[in-house]
Structure 1
Amino acid sequence: MASNVRANMGILSKALTRLRPTGALYSLPNQSLPPPKHWVPSSSFSTAAAVASSQSLHDKEKGSKWSRWFLFLPGAITFGLGTWQIFRRQDKIEMLDHRQKRLQMEPLKLNDMPPSSEILDTLEFRRVVCKGVFYYERSIYIGPRSRSISGVTENGYYVITPLMPIPGDAD
């Protein structure tokens, strides 16, 4: 009976034994039992912990290399896109300034110019003045197109009608 009580006390002391925050072992008060047979001094754990920590450091270093790339890559892409947007903005500002200057120039008299495809490039974003007659037989209908006026949608077409200039017109 005494051996059963002693065995139960041993099991109970093993279950209640805990590590304090300082690392010291403690158990129930008023008990002085020898340490269990499977107890190993903490010095042997330090070498095993060092081996395990060096392996985990290697794994962490390997994982951190990928995580560095995953953190660096979006930043690099964002920086590249931001730089591209700045250059694009500058090009757009220059293009709009060019168009605005061309629209503010004096209108050209188109009746005085000979019809040529070379002149068309110089007329881009320029105002022109021309007297002539509409040539309705050569009208082009582009559509169907819809437009909304006061919430009502109407279907229709764009009509492009060429203007035949009157050659030698003084006005």
Structure 2
Amino acid sequence: MSNPMEDILSGIKRQLHDDDPGEFHGTEGGKNCDLCNPPPAKQVADAQRLVLSEALDLGTGAQWDVISMRVKELRRRADETAATETQAAVDLPTLAAALDGLDTLIATSSRDWGVYRVDAWIWAVICGWDCEQTEHDDTCVHGALEEMAQQHGWDDATVAKARRYRAAVRALTGPAAGARQDGAQR
């Protein structure tokens, strides 16, 4: 009794050989055809393992579990990199807009930002006590940060830190150092 599956496969092989007599399929004459006589699964798996091992810089003898761990590690790193790049691209403009809005809110407030130490620090970082104009006129205020330092007991290191933080905010929010984006003056 013949197996129906073997009959189907045999018919397909005959059809392949009959369609293109110039092309060899089968094992006649001591030749092998991968289509008709595929290599054993172990040979295929070993060949795939070798290629993956080399492509993943694991040498030539890495086992499947090592390959799997390396692939997981590379996927994790790719995801982290993509997330970091996306996060940085999204967060900087958002942060700049938030700081610029905060600058406007503080600068137009009726509050006296120099009275309390914490308020003076917020103004120093977000708005800046130093004159930041490129051309000075009668509206420029010079020495205000030093005055706040004296009033609130800030040492030279604290004043330097305030200037560093202000420079970072200014670099992020202004198209030019000290220039407000909306053209308004404080």
TM-score by length of 2: 0.32
Instruction: Say which one has the larger Rg.
Output: 1
TM-score by length of 1: 0.33
Greater strand proportion: 1
